[in-house]
Structure 1
Amino acid sequence: MSPEIAQTPLWTAALLIARLIFAAVFLMAVSFKIMDMPGTAGYIAAAGFPFPLFLAWCAAILEVALVLCFLTGAFFSQAALVAGAYVLFLGFAFHGPSHWAANQAEFGFFIDHFTFLAGLLFAAVHGPGRVLAVKAGWPGRA
């Protein structure tokens, strides 16, 4: 996309809406975790992971960090890549092939993670945009 098109109000609005959607998804996820941390830990334990309460809190902290990055634009590309890896992990760990025989809907949940991953990878490449974005990131990348 040319720089002129990327700076139009329509594309600026699209980028801001996408950032809000990413933030909202992770905000909902962390909200559900905080509202029922023991339930989240039970879900993690049922998947066979050790230290489920610790991992539930780690997931909540990660999701809060992702929300902040998506809302502010700080470390946006890095956050989108981390979120992509996290979403891919969640897809396989909680909705992967071992779950499909018991519940066919799990396959749909699994596939949904790849759709979200595609959006996150696209966001990582294109960045947060120029509007309402903190210019913080690793050297050579805003």
Structure 2
Amino acid sequence: MSPEIAQSPLRTAGLLVARLIFAAVFLMAVSFKFMGMADTAGYIAAAGFPFPLFLAWCAAILEVLLVVAFLTGAFFSQAALVAAVYVLFLGFAFHGPGRWAANQNEFGFFVDHFTFLAGLLFAAVHGPGKVLSLNLGWPGRA
């Protein structure tokens, strides 16, 4: 990447907006969990997972940590990779091929997870940027 692009205000703004979008998506998800943990547990149970309330709380805690990482830039690349694995898991577990025959909308939800996955992988590679970022994590990431 050329120095002009690497230092540009457009790149800085893009990174900040992307971080805010990632944080907002996970903040919405965790908010729904906190507003209806039993409903989330029911959804998890319906997908066939054991210990649904425990898993709902684990998901909520993970999502809170992701929000903090995306907002602060701390451990950003690692958080983006964890989020990517989480989103991939959610896509297959809750919207995978076994659900498409009963509801074709599930295929759309499944594909949406891959779009989000691509953004998270891109973010993991490029890091949080230098503005409004704690830049904790792997050495050399900006």
TM-score where L is the length of structure 2: 0.97
Question: Tell me, what secondary structure is at the counterpart of 2:50?
Answer: coil
**Which residue matches 2:109?**
109
Q: Which amino acid aligns with 1:67?
A: V
1:26 corresponds in structure 2 to 26
| Matched positions, count | 142
Query: Partners of 1:59 and 1:139 in 2: how far apart?
Result: 28
Structure 1 residue 137 corresponds to structure 2 residue 134 = no
In structure 2, the partner of 1:41 is 41
Partner of 1:128: 128
The residue matched to 1:42 in structure 2 has which SS? helix
Identity %: 85
**Residue type at the aligned position of 2:123:** A
Distance in 1 between the 2:115 and 2:96 partners? 15
Q: What is the CA–CA distance in structure 2 between the aligned matches of 1:3 and 1:39, rounded to whole Å?
A: 49
* Correspondence list, 1:81-120, <5 A: 81-120=81-120
Post-superposition, which runs of at least 4 consecutive aligned residues in structure 1 deviate over 2 A?
138-142
Q: 2: distance between equivalents of 1:135 and 1:11?
A: 16
How far 1:139 sits from its partner (Å)? Answer: 4.5
Measured in 2, the distance between the counterparts of 1:130 and 1:34 equals 32
Q: Which residue of 2 aligns with 1:62?
A: 62
Aligned equivalents of 2:11 and 2:139: distance in 1?
26
**Number of the residue aligned with 1:6:** 6
Alpha-carbon RMSD: 1.0
SS at 1:27 equivalent: helix
Q: Report SS of the residue matched to 2:134.
A: coil
In structure 2, list runs of 5 or more residues that go unmatched.
none
Letter aligned with residue 62 of structure 2: L
- Kindly state the Cα deviation for residue 140 of structure 1 after the two structures are TM-superposed: 5.2
